[in-house]
Amino acid sequence: MRRKSRFFISIVFLGTLLLIYYCQINLLGSEQSIQNSINIDSCLSYYDALAPEWSNDFYDVNQANLTPAKDVIELVTRLTIFSQCLQRNGKRDKQRLRDIEKKLFPYIDFERLESDEVNFWHTNTRWNGEVHHASVLEFDRKDHHFVRSKPVNFKTDLSFWENWLHSIIQSGSRGIVVSASDAQVHEIIRLLRILRFLKNDYPIQIVYNADLSQDSIKLITKYARNQDSTKYPSQEIWFLNIHNLLSPKYSDKFATYSNKWLALIFSSFEIPILLDSDTVPFVSIDKFYKLEEFQKTGVLFFKDRVISDDLFDPPQLEVLKDIIHGCTGINLLDESKIRDNIAEHIREPTVARVLENMLIKKYKHHLESGLVVLHKGKHLFSMLTSISLQFSPISEYFHGDKDFFWLGELLSNNHFTFYPVDASNIGQLGNVVSNENSGEYYQICSVQLSHTDKDGSLLWLNGGLNVCKKTSWEYDYEHSERLTNMFPDAHALRKYYQSPVELEGIIIPDTNISGWIKSGECLLFNYCTLFKEGEFGKVIKFKDAEKRRLSVIVDIWNETIL
């Protein structure tokens, strides 16, 4: 059975390569050969050969699936071929194009688009109450202030996503995007405080799926705009309701972290920076656009904690190997040659290392999605692939949305990389008592996951700026003997959890020797890391001036919300 599965995957991969080659061959020839090459309708004939019932429908986690690798390879292939076909010239069959899109992207309400276009489109509401429905927002390219909006001009001879990229978002536009519902309002307000402190001048778009109340919008607007000054500038904030774009059958499936896909893809910016509501930047937003990794690839991904005690089980790992082989051609059959074959096919060392960690060490956690920068003009179809993966037979292999970001890129054979600095732990530096007197020995235990620049300076963190963002004090107090001994009751633990963090330093652990260890606090979201001088880890101790600056940011974030 296993051999048959491998054989099928090899056939699918070879067929996909041949078709993509056939679609792309004109790129290598002269202008005459371009004109005579395969046109879009010929390319789309691929879908005519598929079974009539084919669809990239969302996978039901309650249904059994005996061929997960085959199903994922097929859905990725269908998306890849469509992306390639859109690059072809020639006359288009509009209805054929739309029929294919309906099956590829069942979560888009194409029926409403065709029958009631005016009410299909999204609605943008500006901080001053201006409502811009079915409109394209335009911002100044230098100082990013709002210039105007203009009506959407949907061209029926183009695909939905071609329209989105070229007609519905402003070319080259940049801005901050946050996915939101009523549950994240206080975190968003705290994030806005930090952005104002950093004098952010990029527009901010809060994206929601009909789950943000008018009271929440008013409260967010208040904290984005009040007490305007040069040191604490008001923010150009917008609220984007994308509910109408979604098919009613699928709208509710985009819950919690899945909403981030909608925020990233449907935001009004071609080059958005996606922030979690509990993300805290410590540098100018412009810094992230200027990082070399983004400039080189059009995407910026940061690494996650390396968790060595949460691993793929053998059947899951075999499925993932089959999928990666089927979509990229990397030969993963021979265990002894996996590392060499990855190095041969993957030109980015950080991506190669991530693949090794997954396929050899069986690690599940690789990417931290609290801050993502993405050029949709270069990476849109990779993200559409990520959405399909999020709702595919491998959805339960991973935790949340995080690792589908980079898997979408990998399986689409797109060029991407990770920021090379490993994730770090930030907080109070605790001295570790040891019988050895061989240098400094520190420990940090915290919820916050931090990310540093190559020079060691702090870029951003995820997890907010209090000791524990979870309302888990009663559970933790009841289930942790250590916490029971430290605090007189759950109320005292609550007070501690809700207190501001103290940022004294950072530890980047050497995970080959001493990795991330759960402390038992904060619903198991608190991790400890170690540094031992001359042996393992890296420590960054903040100087007094930096401590004061960070303390100001912590205090601003923790101010009472009235």
Type and span of the H or E element at 301:
strand 299-303
For residue 193, how far is the Cα from the chain centroid? Answer: 23
Q: How far is it, in rounded angstroms, from Cα 300 to Cα 371?
A: 8
Distances (CA, A) of 125 to 273, 301, 346, 550: 20, 30, 43, 34
pLDDT tens for each residue of 248-267: 999 999 987 788 999 999 99
- Between CA 499 and CA 217 the distance in angstroms is 27
Reduce the DSSP state of residue 303 to 3 states and report it: strand
For the cut 50, the answer to whether the pLDDT of residue 34 exceeds it is: no
8 pLDDT band (50/70/90 cuts)?
low
List the strands of the sheet with 279-281, edge to edge.
279-281, 458-462, 449-452, 424-427, 505-508, 538-541
Averaged pLDDT, 348-376: 98
Over pLDDT 70: what percentage of the chain?
93
Half-sphere exposure at residue 322, Cβ-oriented, CA atoms within 13 angstroms: 25
Q: What's the one-letter identity of residue 307?
A: I
**Per-residue confidence band for 25, with pLDDT thresholds at 50, 70 and 90:** very low
Instruction: Report pLDDT digits (tens) over 38-71.
Output: 789 899 999 999 999 999 999 887 677 789 999 9
SS (H, E, C) 98-166: HHHHHHHCCCECHHHHHHCHHHHCCEEEECCCCEEECEEEEECCCCCCEEEEEECCCCCCCCHHHHHHH
Separation CA 557–CA 193 (nearest Å): 7
The average pLDDT across 11-32 equals: 42
Pair type for strands 505-508 and 204-208:
unpaired
Residue 6, pLDDT > 90, answer no
Domain ranges of the chain: 2-111, 113-290, 424-558
Per-residue confidence (pLDDT) for residue 54, from 0 to 100: 96
Q: What is the pLDDT of residue 21?
A: 42
Please list the residues that pair with 450 across neighbouring strands. 424, 461
Secondary structure (H, E, C), 375-404: CHHHHHHHHHHHHHHHCCCCHHHCCCCHHH
Across 284-301, average pLDDT: 98
pLDDT-based confidence at 274, cuts 50/70/90? very high
Mean pLDDT of 112-121: 97
Provide the pLDDT for residue 202.
99
Question: What is the pTM assigned to this prediction?
Answer: 0.93
Q: What is the pLDDT of residues 63-108, one digit of tens each?
A: 777 899 999 999 999 999 999 999 998 889 999 999 999 999 999 9
Q: Do the strands 269-275 and 449-452 form a parallel or antiparallel pair, or are they unpaired?
A: unpaired
The answer to whether residue 424 scores a pLDDT higher than 70 is yes
Residue 281: pLDDT band by 50, 70, 90 thresholds?
very high
